Amino acid sequence: MEKNRATTEAKLLQAVGEIIARDGFEALGIRKIAEQANANKTLIYRYFNSMNGLIVAYLKANDFWTSPKSTNFNGKNAREHLKNFYRQEVSLLRANVALRKLRCWELTTENELIDEIRERREENGRQFMEEMVRYAATEKNNIQAIATLLDAGIVNLALCADKFQFYNGIDIQSNEGWEQILRGIDTLIDALVKSEDE
C-alpha cells in the first residue's frame, strides 16, 4: 500500500512539472494533473490535501530556496562550500524549465500559494545568511546585499536565457558563458569570505 502511494505521489509530482514546463502554471488544475499522472483526482486530496498542497510539495522537491539550505560551513571549507552552493543553484535553474516558469509566474501573480512560496524562500534565505555572515570578511549589511545580488542575478540571467542569447557579451545559453559567470562569483567569494587562518 505504501509503495503504491509513493509511486502515485511521484507520478502526481512529475505531472505538475510536466504541465508547468509545457503549458505554464496557469494551466494547472486538479483534473489536468490527474489525467497527466493517469491517477484518480481524489488521490490529490488524499495525499496532498489540495492542489496547493501538491504544488508546495513539488516546489519543496525542486525549488532551490523553498527547502532549508544547510551550509555546513566551517572555517576550512566556507569558500568552497559557498562556490558549490551557487553552482548548484545555477545548475538547478538551468536544468528545470518548470522552476524558471514558476519564477516568471511569481512576478505576475498574487495569491496565497505565491505568498507561501515567498515566505519559505525568505525564511530559508535569512537562515542561510546568518550562517554565511559568520565567515564574511565584511559587515553583515554588505554581505547580505552582495548575496542578494548574486541570487537575483542568477535567477534573472536564467530567465533571460530562455529569451535571448547574450547578456553583456556573455553567451548565457552556453555552458561556457555560465562557467564565466561562475568564475566571477568565485572571485567575489574569495574576496568576501574568510578562510580559517584569516
- pLDDT score at 193: 77
Could you tell me the three cell numbers for 185?
562569483
Give per-residue pLDDT as tens, 4-14: 888 999 999 99
The CATH code of the domain at 2-61 is 1.10.10.60
- pLDDT score at 63: 67
Is there a contact between 52 and 74 (Cβ–Cβ < 8 Å)?
no
Contacts of 181 by beta carbon, 8 Å cutoff, 6+ apart = 90, 157, 170, 172
Give per-residue pLDDT as tens, 149-197: 999 999 999 999 999 999 999 999 999 999 999 999 999 988 887 765 5
- pLDDT score at 42: 93
